[in-house]
Amino acid sequence: MKKNKGSLSRFLVGMASLFTVLIILNSCEKSTDEPGPNEVFIQGHAFNPTTITVPVNTTITWTNKDADVHTATSDTGGEINSGNISKNRTFSHTFATAGSYPYHCALHPAMTATVIVN
């Protein structure tokens, strides 16, 4: 009977240790699936959000969360021109003039979005 009690005690200590480790791992900072203010995520072959509205002199940062390379390329001129953005890389641009800035991915033209600057 003592042997069973010792085994049970070790099992319970082991389980408590496992739960402690899981709680610690779960409390660590997690990456978010939603962009913050002034941020655009590129994921699932789409820009998120597809429309973002900001005041003049705001810097927007694009983050590529896809495995594929993408771009943020202006539809109407050179305002937005990221070049290639690899996975987990970013591109930032400050919008100094009010207006509407539609853009797309030059590598995947169906990916479109707009920055509106007030």
Instruction: Give the span between the Cα atoms of 35 and 91, in whole angstroms.
Output: 14
Instruction: Name the amino acid, one letter, at 101.
Output: Y
DSSP per-residue codes, 57-102: TEEEEEEE-SSS-B--EESSSSS-B---B-TT-EEEEEE-S-EEEE
Q: pTM to 2 decimals?
A: 0.73
Superfamily of domain 39-117, CATH level 4: Cupredoxins -  blue copper proteins (2.60.40.420)
What's phi and psi for 35, nearest 5 deg?
-70, 150
pLDDT in tens, 57-71: 999 999 999 999 999
Strand 90-95 with 58-64, pairing: antiparallel
pLDDT in tens, 17-44: 666 655 555 544 445 689 999 999 999 9
Strand 47-48 with 58-64, pairing: unpaired
Query: Which is nearest to 68 in space by CA: 96, 88, 95?
Result: 88
pLDDT in tens, 72-90: 999 998 899 999 999 999 9
Positive or negative torsion for Cα 103, 40, 50, 84:
positive
